[in-house]
Chain A
Amino acid sequence: MSTVLFDVPGPVARRRHRIGGVIGSIVLLALLGLVLWKLWAADQITPKAFEPFTDPDILRGLGEAILTTLTAAAVAIVLALVFGAVFAAGRLSDHAILRWPSIAVIEFFRAIPLVLLILAMFLGFGDVTGRFWALVLALMLYNGSVLAEVFRAGIKAVPRGQSEAAYALGLRKSSVMLLILVPQAITTMLPAIISQCVVALKDTALGYIISSQELASFTKQVISGYNNPIAAGAIAAAVYIVINYTLSRIAQWLEARQRRRGRAVVPLASTPAGDPSGGVSGGVSGDGSGPTR
């Protein structure tokens, strides 16, 4: 298997790689061992640190916190899809009066930190909406703006001949959009939309700032009660990783399937999420993608 960097290794190179592998393993194991030993010595990963998680009350709380996280992410994504569709339509509009405000809204919410947005939502509307909805609305505004750009890219990725043919048949712009471009763009955009779900799910952890009772806030309560930051943090991280990794794999699989079928794809952003992170993700995130370039 020849790659960009290396030719197919011969016997000498293979021996070199084996030696490198042995040295690399020793260095990595030493690092890992040092960290684990430090943590064990500080009573951070001993059974005692994980003991709270055998308590049925704590487990029930953990379940509820995970449910809150999933609910917040799901509601935010559904709302963000609607928000994104509306503003993508505005941005693709022929009327400047619709286009410019849409661009301004999309660019604004993508350029500011989600933390700032959540804080402002909570401080401004928190007494009306409560913590959960302040978080969800902030997530909707940010992810909706990112999705609006995804939709626009998806519409633009449909081969030009499709819309030209539709116009040639005498369809109006609205019909071309609804009958020809959008249906084709939806399959194209599915992987990117699922990736955005990962970003949204990661970003729900920012509810910690306003103690919105999701997984990160719950983890904080456990840590302050039992002083086991590493153990509790590892359990929270594991929950997020399992869910997000599954979603990412689904997105990758869909993308690969579309490439095989020779469809256009909106490339998955490998950026953190607002993360992102950001989304960096990605996001992603997010991502975390910046203003359009």
Chain B
Amino acid sequence: MNVLIDNLPKIISGFWLTVQLLVVSGIVATLLGTLLAGMRVSPVPVLQRAGTAYVTVFRNTPLLIVFLIIVTGLPAVGLQYSFFVRAIISLSLYTSAFVCEALRSGINAIQAGQAEAARAIGMTFGQSLRLIVLPQAFRAVVPPLASILIALTKNTAIAEVFGVTEASYQLDSLVRDFPTALWWLFAGIAFGYMIIVFLIAGGASLLERRWTVTR
């Protein structure tokens, strides 16, 4: 127990990095994932296929391999970024494929009759998107997006292996100094992750409750 209290500053600073990774990657992945989803639902076959190929590749490759390629590959082609930036790139490339699928399933969850009705009363594409399609799609994507954010939280731990001193790295380094306190450290750091995960899950269920509509 004392180990946790004595090393609280280290653990807190580790989690501060975890949160930074989570927020920045989350934003970048959402932007990239939205672009990909737009490509996949567009009526242009070339864009559809390119989006599908991207999603297939990144959904079936382990994140660790993505990290390995980005972290060792970027310097090899002469791009010198910090470990933090390389971790952000890896996490964003990987997570955006899942964001794309969540958004696409949200759009596909809308009954075609809704959009047909919007067109029938003379709405333009922009109006139908803004007033009919997107509001419903947003509601449908809250649960899967929350799951993706939770997975991203846990995935940031992989950055530990690639030079980012976030929360999981603290376990690695503190155990070297306090070998007998492994399970205390594990419990303390696990608890930190659980707080983040339950905050995301709680936020999502709040949103869901506020937005519940009878279908």
Chain B residues contacting A274 (CB-CB under 8 Å) are 151, 154-155
- In which size bucket is the chain A interface? 35 or more
> Does B10 sit within 8 A of A, measured CB to CB?
no
> Does B43 sit within 8 A of A, measured CB to CB?
yes
> Does A120 sit within 8 A of B, measured CB to CB?
yes
**Residue from A236, A241, A278, A280 with most neighbouring chain B CB atoms (10 Å):** A280
User: CA A293 – CA B183 in complex, angstroms?
Assistant: 29
User: CA A279 – CA B76 in complex, angstroms?
Assistant: 29
> Does A255 sit within 8 A of B, measured CB to CB?
no
Residue pair B154, A277 in contact (C-beta under 8 Å): yes
Residue pair A272, B160 in contact (C-beta under 8 Å): no
Residue pair B112, A4 in contact (C-beta under 8 Å): yes
> Does A115 sit within 8 A of B, measured CB to CB?
yes
Residue pair B78, A272 in contact (C-beta under 8 Å): no
Chain A residues 191-239 with CB under 8 Å of chain B are 198, 202-206, 208-209, 216, 219-220, 223, 227, 229-230, 233-234, 236-237
Contact with B along A255-273 (1 / 0, CB 8 A): 0000000000000011111
Contact residues of B: prevailing secondary structure: helix
Chain A residues contacting B205 (CB-CB under 8 Å) are 293
Q: With A4-B112, A240-B65 as given contacts, are A272 and B76 in contact (CB-CB < 8 Å)?
A: no
User: CA A205 – CA B153 in complex, angstroms?
Assistant: 18
Q: What is the minimal beta-carbon distance from A288 to any residue of chain B, in angstroms?
A: 3
Chain B residues 41-76 with CB under 8 Å of chain A are 41-47, 50, 56-57, 59-66, 68-69, 72-73, 76
User: CA A284 – CA B63 in complex, angstroms?
Assistant: 11
> Does B198 sit within 8 A of A, measured CB to CB?
yes
> Does A173 sit within 8 A of B, measured CB to CB?
no
User: CA A107 – CA B150 in complex, angstroms?
Assistant: 13
Chain A residues contacting B13 (CB-CB under 8 Å) are none
Closest A residue, CB atoms, query B64: A205
User: CA A33 – CA B214 in complex, angstroms?
Assistant: 49
Residue pair A5, B107 in contact (C-beta under 8 Å): yes
Q: Which of A219, A220, A293 contacts B208 (CB 8 A)?
A: A293
Q: What is the minimal beta-carbon distance from B134 to any residue of chain A, in angstroms?
A: 10
User: CA A288 – CA B101 in complex, angstroms?
Assistant: 14
Residue pair A245, B56 in contact (C-beta under 8 Å): yes
**Residue from B42, B78, B129, B155 with most neighbouring chain A CB atoms (10 Å):** B155
Residue pair A273, B151 in contact (C-beta under 8 Å): yes
Chain B residues contacting A275 (CB-CB under 8 Å) are 63, 151, 154-155
Q: What is the minimal beta-carbon distance from A54 to any residue of chain B, in angstroms?
A: 20
**Residue from A20, A223, A287, A288 with most neighbouring chain B CB atoms (10 Å):** A288
Q: What is the minimal beta-carbon distance from B52 to any residue of chain A, in angstroms?
A: 12
**Residue from A6, A44, A112 with most neighbouring chain B CB atoms (10 Å):** A112
> Does B119 sit within 8 A of A, measured CB to CB?
yes
Q: Apart from A205-B63, A245-B56, what are 17 other A-B pairs with CB-CB below 8 Å?
A: A13-B43, A21-B44, A24-B46, A120-B183, A209-B160, A219-B68, A229-B68, A230-B69, A233-B73, A240-B65, A241-B60, A274-B151, A278-B154, A284-B59, A287-B147, A290-B200, A293-B146
5 closest A-B pairs by CB: A288-B151, A280-B151, A205-B62, A113-B157, A278-B151
